[in-house]
Chain A
Amino acid sequence: MSSRVPRPSMDLIGALLVGVAYAFSVVATSLPGRGQSADALDVDPDARVVQVMHWQLEPGFREGLQAIIEAYHDLPHVQAAGVRVEQLAVPNRVYAQILNVHVISGTAPDLCQQGTSTLTGGNAIAQYFEGLGAAVSQPNAYNQPEYLPDGLDPRLVDALANRPWRDTFLNGMQSGWNVNLQDFYSVPTSFAGTKKLFVNESLLQEAKAYLRDAASQSPPPGWYARLLRQRSVQGDAGFVSEDDAYAAWLATGGPPDTLGRFILIGHAIQRLYDGDRDVSVVPIAGSNYSYGIFATNYLTPFTASYAAALDLDYNVSIDSRETWFGWQSGAWSFRDPAIRSYFECLQEISRLFPAGFLGLDREQARRRFVSGQAAMIASGVWDAASIFQAAEGKFEVSVIDFPLPGLGERWADQCGPGENSVSSSGGAQFMVNRSSPNRDWALDFLRFLTSYAANQRFNQHTAWVPIVLGTVSNAEVEAFRPDPRGVSKKSAMMFSGGDVGQIATRYEGELKNYLAGDLTYDEFVERVEAAAADPFNGVDRVWDRYRLKNRDWVRNADASLAVQVARDLLLEHDDAQSRVLRALRRSSLRFNGQVPSWSWHRLYPDQPFPEFP
């Protein structure tokens, strides 16, 4: 006897379709649409609402933005025009879906934060969002002297008032420039991207006192002796050299300024709170979020020295494809001291995380730190306000860089300079909805938000880093200001990424097993290399995909050229001819998508390019 599984009735599906469509039609025909002008809708033209949608739910951001909105409302000409600005804070998890639906239906907010949605990238940007090239080439009206505080350096006043809007940004608004579309499409409101270590000063001092005590014993306790650098024919052990510099550091209350000392502090915390005390404290509030921060930040110092050998397309930037092409061609190996050291370093740091850290999320890690149950946590400036507020009255928090090996310390010979943070990435970048009936006011508010006075005030509220010339950060986030010292992160290898498909999946999984201590290094390497060498889904497949991708890029470049030709011949825009030239550059220097074949030919002149059906 066969049992029948109940299936949804087609009647019901049809009826639901009718209902949904009818409801949508009624709403679409009866409510004011964003694609229609106020005049056409017969509503009060003075009652304009400019909506700003973002996903920054961190404490401080909404309050900071609201403070600027209220200041904007107080401006006489804004009041006279009856303009109101409203913010829509949407959780990150659903931001892309909400934005996509509303952008396509023409009901998107006037200002939308860029990111997460595919419609805020690629050519779609130009379809749905306003090109800002002309606007950012003009001075920002809200940087005129009457809007600036008294006592500013006259040179600063002159620069703010007279430079084009884009040049009043510390990064030249580079993060808003879209090289493919040849225009500015978004305006950053902060600097972003820098990650640091937050340190619980109370626990740090406890750990240092404990280390001082251990160092003063003769002979020192075994756990401490094992952390001291010892080299022998059997191999390296320990992390720090017990030299004068170490002694000087130990004598002070200063934070860990080298990687060895950082690991030493971690072990001291572990010894201090190893179960003999009531409180559970770990050295680092690790989680499935933060292990990646360490993995990313240590990539540059350990792997950037390979950049010149890996840069097959000469774009001065290493991606995941080039990383694995280099593995295949022998440009690097998992047995290289620098590569092995990188992974060993990550594993040593992971040992300072709580047990089962891969099952913990970002918020659980943050709570552990602010409740005083972790000595350190890695995060970005976006968590600064919540961490400082939550720790207030309980313990002091300091912010430090990810430390690098000091002279004589373990890995010092395999590690180069750290990563700089001058990348032009901006934070909370906003785009102007093309179909907004309030485009001018949306742009006006954006000018206000990124004027000297408002941008400083906004970022002081949010405890983020302001991005406008001459602005000053809150003291506690000063450490997050861009630091030019260090190597470009574009020089670092990338073991993972969507471009390397199955290799990335396997790498990510096995890396977690290795960091959790479930695999030895050799086992980890064996598994990852097996994935990379796989004849069907390994590096050969990546080459094939790379060539397909290049053909897509050529078509996209040609489409951009067609657009610039239209701007030149059909719309007769003044800047079109120079943009035609730039678009042609993108197209012609790709050699019709042959760069991968060319690169392969240079590496393996006698072997056919890998082809897959």
Chain B
Amino acid sequence: MKDSLSQSSTARDRILIRLKRGVPENPAPLPSVPQDHEHFTSYLDVKDRDSLLGRFQHRFEALQGEFFLVDSPQEAGKALSNLVSGIEPNRILSQDDSLIEKVLKSSSLASEKVKSTDDLLAQDSLSFEAYEIGVTTAFKLVARTGSIVMTCRQAAGRRLSVLPPLHIVIAKASQLIPSWEEGIESLRDESDFSYASFITGPSRTADIEKILVLGAHGPKRLALILIKE
């Protein structure tokens, strides 16, 4: 890469010189950061959890997300049991996380050894293709658009939340936030990640005659088990 590096650095200088010639002497000030309440009808300035929850569920379900509201990790276990019924436990992969572990213990998978990403790491073979279901936590939940914010930390990497055909997210109602503005702000605080994603519904496409089809390349189904406590 040595050659190309020196090529790149000459090119860099030349590009920047040309650009600097086009920069105005007295540029207009940079407008302040756009505010959600200034732009969006669906801006939520209410902080109470019920209206955030209502809005989130409404948007999430409108996009065919499967939403399960439960009171406790024990109940979450039941919801999870329903979601995974019929699937071989060895085709389920979960993020290594204490909340997920608690939920797993109350589910039909309690007596099974569900593999976690850490197990895979230990074996040094991250072959994800064999898995039908990926189970992760979330970083935040954005009420305005029904989006799940995830960094590669919550998803335990980049693949677990996108490669398996069913992605199950287990989260708490306290993670609800009103807007993308707050979502982005909290990502700025959480600087230590290489990848983050706002996930809004299961994978989709309308490339053929604008007909909506779910499950283009990412998960065909996206389920959220939200624990109220």
Are A and B a genuine interacting pair, yes or no?
no
B interface list, Cβ under 8 A from A: none
A interface list, Cβ under 8 A from B: none
